[in-house]
Amino acid sequence: MNRIEKLFQDKEQRILSIYFTAGFPELNDTIRILESLQHADTDMVEIGIPFSDSLADGPVIQEANMRALHNGMSLKLLFAQLRGFRDKINMPVILMGSLNPVMQFGIESFLRSCKDTGIDGVILPDLPVDEYEKNYRTLFESQDIYCIFLVTPETSNERLRKIDSLSGGFIYAVSSSSTTGKEKDMNKQEGYFQKLRQMDLKNPVLVGFGIKDKNTFDTACQYTNGAVIGTAFIKALQTGNNVEEHINSFIKGIKAR
Amino acid sequence: MPLEFKLNPSAQRKNTIDFLKAGLYKVSPLGYYGEFGGAFIPEMLYPNVEELAEKYLGIIQEEAFQKEFRELLRDYVGRPSPLYLAKRLSEKYKTNIYLKREDLNHTGAHKINNTIGQILLAKRLGKTRIIAETGAGQHGVATATVCALMDLPCVVYMGEVDMQRQAPNVARMRMLGAEVRAATSGSKTLKDATNEAIRDWINNPKDTHYIIGSVVGPHPYPDMVARFQSVISEEIRKQLQEKTGNELPDYMIACVGGGSNAAGSFYHFLNDDKVKLIGVEAAGDGVASGHTAATTAVGKPGIIHGSRTMLMQTEDGQIEEAHSISAGLDYPGVGPLHAHLFKTGRATYLNATDNEALQAALELTRLEGIIPALESAHALAKLKDIAFKPDEVIVVCLSGRGDKDMDTYIKKLEN
């Protein structure tokens, strides 16, 4: 069973997924950060594949991307770092990034490398769902790698149904149309979250974009299965010297009841 | 020494003819030119882009739209722009060179053909805020101009580097009432300005229309912008018929950054195989120098700004920074139509270095009394490399005037 599916089977509420950029702050931090996140009881992790021109990202993740690339990170190197990580890490792990680096790596070798290293799902925000259905779906399914799609408050119900039918693992509900890391009032999105709940989708829903602390996490969790934190975590990574301890207190702070 | 011009490798020729027969230079309903194009956009942009894709053809084909568009092009822009037989230039190259004078348009370049079309479209879509990217500032000025005309607020993103090298255009945009925001990421040029404009659109999904300035971006932009710019080749056909008795030139030459003036210049000749279509990209310091913007020469297929096209990129798929003296050509991609014309061999893509462009600009100035934009000078720079016959007819799209480049010209040409 895919680890993402297993996670949602075992736990329906307050799922916390953390995003960080591979190769940031230092080139070889990937495994160290994964271990710290697991130690802090994080439910799931999204590793960002750095890209020079990520359209959906705000300044903080753009900066992390540039730093990671400057450090020498590449998709090839990321897969090398991930070799053997399943000996230590049990959480579901997702790769998230722009389509172009994946295309240049070659979609088939990319999915094979995902499978070989133990990656469970992929989020490629600029891969449209129709393109996926037509050209990529069989490839993803043959490797049992979930392709997770985004929806926004502007996504029509008809399209939501389609995305739900093609998305694997969960649906990534962008809190409101924006780039990552924008200040938002989650309470204003109540209607949208409620709609998602009432539609009785086949997939669980995680909210992302604008989730930054316990408050915003709690609000998202009132209506959905959990949330994703990216920008706020990247900021937290930049502040402390003792990364392990820092990650631990960050996660504990969010998850506290 | 001019080289005998080889049009296309013969293997590609057959391809070309097949495409001609199938009419495949037009965009497909899903936004593809062969393998290029499409709409690779995050879900946040989907409603806006989908609305455009569904409605643009219907709106453009409305009689009332066409009437308003044509009237503005005539009375406001000053079209048709003249087709001028450049006698002294022709003498020098021993052939017949006509210049399509887009430099004489209101605001000084071809860019306004597209912004007039898009602002009329934006109004019909009920949009109340306009954003744009700009490289040399010509598209920014053309957008700020139509926004003043239609009383719509306007934000233009411009690379910080370009704001410095095209300062007069920044001042013009501000005088026209636009807000100019500096793009400070990456190479701080056109690519980064486009990134910022797209990010703005993601953050303003309801009220905003993004007026893209070239034949780039997700479908339907490449086709929509090409249609608005196609007035260039529509006029050339008529004007050539009047002047030469034949509506087809032997060569149609235009510079290519994203490729909007070239797309407009090629558009009505795409199915006339006799017309040799030449796009000229910016080589910067030279194609092999690592400081270039000659995408078809050094790029490979990839995705930039929502479109699959030829792209300058690293092995890892990171987008490389382009380099050109000309801010309007300083772009690491080309429109998907050009990628397709390149791949199929229907058009030939050459490139000109910074120096060649400067020399060509000076040459046109001294021979014809016309100071061209640095972008257009790249197209002129290849006249010397093609062995024209005395009875051939050459049209060069003079896409813009050189006022905005005076600082560069003064600095570079004073020696």
Predicted ipTM?
A: 0.95
Query: Taking a C-beta distance cutoff of 8 angstroms, is the pair B252, B265 a contact?
Result: yes
Peptide bond into B2 cis (omega under 30): no
Query: Taking a C-beta distance cutoff of 8 angstroms, is the pair A16, A229 a contact?
Result: yes
Mutate to test the interface with B, among A27, A49, A55, A131 (most CBs of B within 10 A): A55
Residues of B with a known catalytic role: 111, 133, 399
Quote the pLDDT of residue B18.
Answer: 47
Instruction: Record the tokens describing residue B399, joined without a space.
Output: 């896409």
Average pLDDT over residues B56-65: 96
Instruction: Record the tokens describing residue A215, joined without a space.
Output: 């408050």
Among candidate residues B350, B364, B226, the one with its CA nearest the CA of residue B276: B350
Instruction: Record the tokens describing residue A132, joined without a space.
Output: 């996926």
Closest residue of chain B to A104, computed from CA coordinates:
B317
The number of distinct structural domains making up chain A is 1
pLDDT tens, position by position, B236-267: 999 999 999 999 999 999 999 999 999 999 99
Would the pLDDT of B140 be above 60? yes
For tokens 């359209």, name the residue. A55
pLDDT tens, position by position, A122-131: 999 999 999 9
Average pLDDT over residues A38-64: 96
pTM for the predicted model, two decimal places: 0.95
Given A5, A57, A120, A164, the catalytic residue = A57
Q: Specify the length of chain A in residues.
A: 257
Asked if A179 lies within 8 A of B199 by C-beta distance, the reply is yes
Quote the pLDDT of residue B185.
Answer: 85
B10 part of contact set with chain A, CB < 8 Å: no
Instruction: Record the tokens describing residue B232, joined without a space.
Output: 């260039």
Closest residue of chain A to B317, computed from CA coordinates:
A101
A238 — alpha (psi -120 to 50), left (phi > 0) or beta? alpha
Closest residue of chain A to B45, computed from CA coordinates:
A177
Tell me the residues of chain B between 289 and 328 that have a Cβ less than 8 Å away from chain A: 302-306, 311, 313, 315-319
Cβ count within 10 A of residue A30: 23
- The strand order across the sheet containing A44-49 reads A146-147, A121-123, A93-97, A44-49, A15-21, A226-229, A205-208, A171-174, A150-151
Average pLDDT over residues A76-90: 97
Which of chain B's residues have a Cβ under 8 Å away from the Cβ of A152? 43-44, 46-47, 205
For tokens 């799609």, name the residue. A149
Quote the pLDDT of residue B415.
Answer: 63
Q: Please report which confidence band the pLDDT of residue B13 belongs to, taking 50, 70 and 90 as the band edges.
A: very low
Question: In the predicted model, what is the mean pLDDT of chain B?
Answer: 93
| Range of lowest pLDDT (A179-183, B41-45, B274-278, B300-304) | A179-183
Which of chain B's residues have a Cβ under 8 Å away from the Cβ of A74? 316
Distance CA B231, CA B243 (A): 18
Asked if A177 lies within 8 A of B39 by C-beta distance, the reply is no
pLDDT tens, position by position, A102-124: 999 999 999 999 999 999 999 99
Q: Which amino acid is at A135?
A: N
CATH number of the domain residue A231 falls in: 3.20.20.70
Higher pLDDT among residues A212 and B23, named by residue? A212
Return the HEC string of A149-209.
CEECCCCCHHHHHHHHHHCCCCEEEECCCCCCCCCCCHHHHHHHHHHHHHCCCCCCEEEEC
Using alpha carbons only, give the angle B137, B142, B143 rounded to the nearest 5 degrees.
Answer: 95
Would the pLDDT of B16 be above 50? no
Quote the pLDDT of residue A241.
Answer: 74
Query: Taking a C-beta distance cutoff of 8 angstroms, is the pair A97, A56 a contact?
Result: no
Average pLDDT over residues B391-399: 98
Quote the pLDDT of residue B136.
Answer: 87
Hey, what long-range contacts does B374-377 have (CB within 8 A, 24 or more apart)?
A: B374/B136, B374/B325, B374/B326, B374/B327, B374/B328, B374/B329, B374/B402, B374/B405, B374/B408, B375/B136, B375/B255, B375/B257, B375/B326, B375/B328, B375/B329, B375/B399, B375/B400, B376/B103, B376/B255, B376/B400, B377/B255, B377/B326, B377/B352, B377/B402
Query: Taking a C-beta distance cutoff of 8 angstroms, is the pair B309, B335 a contact?
Result: yes
CA distance, residue A76 to nearest chain B CA (Å) = 8
CA distance, residue A186 to nearest chain B CA (Å) = 16
Tell me the residues of chain A between 123 and 152 that have a Cβ less than 8 Å away from chain B: 125-128, 131, 149-152
Average pLDDT over residues A1-19: 96
List Cβ neighbours of A68 (8 Å cut-off, separation of 6 or more).
A21, A22, A23, A24, A27, A50
In eight-state DSSP terms, residue A132 is I
Asked if A104 lies within 8 A of B317 by C-beta distance, the reply is yes
Quote the pLDDT of residue B15.
Answer: 46
Would the pLDDT of A132 be above 80? yes
Quote the pLDDT of residue B23.
Answer: 55
Quote the pLDDT of residue B17.
Answer: 47
| Range of lowest pLDDT (B93-107, B162-176, B218-232) | B162-176
Would the pLDDT of B24 be above 80? no
Q: Is the dihedral of CA B227, B230, B231, B237 positive or negative?
A: negative
Cβ-count burial A52-74 (b if 16+ within 10 Å, e if not): bbbbbbbebbbbbbbbbbebebb
Cβ count within 10 A of residue B14: 11
Quote the pLDDT of residue A186.
Answer: 86
Domain ranges, residue A23: 3-255
Mutate to test the interface with A, among B43, B48, B49, B133 (most CBs of A within 10 A): B43
Instruction: Record the tokens describing residue B282, joined without a space.
Output: 């910016």
Mutate to test the interface with B, among A70, A104, A123, A178 (most CBs of B within 10 A): A104
Helix axes B63-72, B46-61, angle to 10 degrees: 90
